[in-house]
Amino acid sequence: KQEVTQIPAALSVPEGENLVLNCSFTDSAIYNLQWFRQDPGKGLTSLLLIQSSQREQTSGRLNASLDKSSGRSTLYIAASQPGDSATYLCAVPKTSYDKVIFGPGTSLSVIP
């Protein structure tokens, strides 16, 4: 059974710092991996999707990498801003037709 964990559970950094969020999964047979952002009381917003054949994806100050063999993905946020404060979640489906398993999330606080 696929299990997804995220470390750290919470993170507080001063504005301007570069930071890394981690996502680990126990079953490397994944179809893709998606990173989401969730603001308090709101729905999820997709940040990046990495297909299983890819190693990384970039969007602006965000870079996500995927290492299937080790069951890990990292989300790198460059030059963090207070507006980046949110909970970040990763999610994996085993196949495109399978259910999606989410990690518990990392709560990020960027201090001005």
Partner 1 sequence: EAQVTQNPRYLITVTGKKLTVTCSQNMNHEYMSWYRQDPGLGLRQIYYSMNVEVTDKGDVPEGYKVSRKEKRNFPLILESPSPNQTSLYFCASSPGVAGVSDTQYFGPGTRLTVL
Q: Distance (Å, rounded) from C-alpha 37 to C-alpha 56?
A: 18
Residue 88's DSSP bridge partners are 37, 106
- Which one, of 107, 106, 99, lies nearest residue 5 by Cα? 106
CB of 97 to partner 1, least distance (A): 4
CB of 5 to partner 1, least distance (A): 10
Give contact residues for partner 1 (rule: CB under 8 A): 31-32, 34, 36, 41-46, 49, 51, 89, 91, 93, 95-105
CB of 102 to partner 1, least distance (A): 4
